[in-house]
């Protein structure tokens, strides 16, 4: 009799595991600490007047999110870069930086380490919208865009770009009407950027959803440097594999390859820009 009861129960439990629904909000707990490690490798090249300028990138950064308080609508968090290690080669000249090295933190590349162990307060909405609560950071973020294309790319790759966007990139809420095997598309058009994304939900095991993502990002940015107007037109084709905890919305792992192709127009001269950047992000 016991065996006859146990078999149906086992079947019910198995069905329940496969029928688990994804969360509709980011789920974190007070004093929770999330650590994210990003590894970025790539090559970016721009050419002008028959001369090529190549940049090789090898960057590892470690970031930490500490949940300070929790309520129904949002989390108050502290966001900190705990370590940065980079090796950037530009036109054959290599410059290395390691925030664990005191000489590097006080040397010619010390600006790379300006955010190391600096605690930045944010509010992260349960719907994965992030805003800074630091008035100083807000005022500094309103500064003009860096018109030097290579320098701007370095800033982003070093993780010193938009902190709000970086934090949001660590989380994902899967649409509640989607299930294993489904594909769907999304688009975002905001100012200078157009983004078109296709998702495919490939597998689900132990609450971890595996997604295949393809994306086209079109950047049309106009800036000014030393009185010169610069128009940058870059298309990024992205192929990514992503693992998401469907019970919390935390991205466990993402690996992407970005193919970059476009140009920067300066004083009527078009400067071709190409590149490949491979990024791996893991959480613990």
Instruction: Report d(CA 43, CA 89) in Å as an integer.
Output: 9
pTM listed for this prediction: 0.84
Split at pLDDT 50, 70, 90, the class of 190 is confident
Q: Decide if pLDDT at 25 tops 80.
A: yes
Transcribe 60-79 into DSSP letters. EEEEEEEEEEE-SSEEEEEE
- Domain 20-283 belongs in CATH node 1.20.120: no
Q: What is the DSSP letter of 111?
A: G
Q: What Cα–Cα distance (Å) separates residue 131 from each residue in 88, 109, 118, 142, 158?
A: 31, 29, 17, 14, 21
Task: Give the pLDDT score at 157.
Answer: 60
C-alpha span between 31 and 168 (Å, rounded): 19
pLDDT at 13 over 90: no
Tell me the pLDDT tens digit for each residue of 214-254. 999 998 877 766 667 778 899 999 999 999 999 999 999 99
Domain boundaries, the chain: 20-283
How many other C-beta atoms lie within 10 A of the C-beta of residue 209? 21
């Amino acid at each position: 009799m016991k065996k006859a009861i146990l078999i149906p129960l086992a079947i019910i439990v198995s069905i329940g595991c496969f029928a688990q629904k994804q969360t509709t909000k980011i789920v974190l707990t007070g004093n929770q600490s999330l650590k994210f490690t990003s590894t970025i490798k790539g090559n970016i090249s721009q050419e002008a007047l028959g001369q090529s300028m190549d940049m090789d990138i090898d960057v590892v950064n470690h970031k930490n999110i500490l949940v300070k308080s929790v309520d129904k609508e949002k989390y108050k968090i502290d966001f900190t870069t705990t370590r940065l290690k980079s090796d950037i080669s530009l036109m054959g000249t290599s410059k290395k930086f390691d925030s664990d090295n005191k000489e590097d933190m006080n040397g010619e590349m010390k600006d790379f380490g300006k955010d190391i162990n600096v605690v930045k307060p944010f509010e992260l909405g349960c719907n994965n919208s992030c805003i800074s609560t630091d008035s100083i950071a807000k005022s500094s973020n309103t500064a003009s865009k860096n018109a030097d294309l290579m320098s701007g790319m370095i800033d982003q790759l070093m993780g010193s770009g938009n902190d709000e966007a970086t934090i949001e990139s660590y989380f994902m809420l899967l649409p509640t009407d989607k299930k294993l095997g489904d594909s769907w598309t999304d688009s975002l058009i905001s100012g200078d950027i157009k983004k078109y994304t296709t998702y495919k939900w490939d597998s689900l095991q132990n609450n971890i959803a595996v997604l295949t993502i393809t994306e086209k990002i079109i950047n049309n940015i106009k800036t000014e440097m030393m009185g010169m107007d610069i128009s940058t037109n870059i298309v990024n084709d992205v192929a990514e594999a992503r693992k998401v905890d469907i019970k919390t919305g935390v991205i466990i792992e993402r690996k992407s390859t970005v193919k970059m192709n476009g140009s920067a127009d300066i004083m009527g001269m078009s400067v071709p820009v190409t590149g490949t950047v491979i990024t791996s992000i893991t959480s613990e």
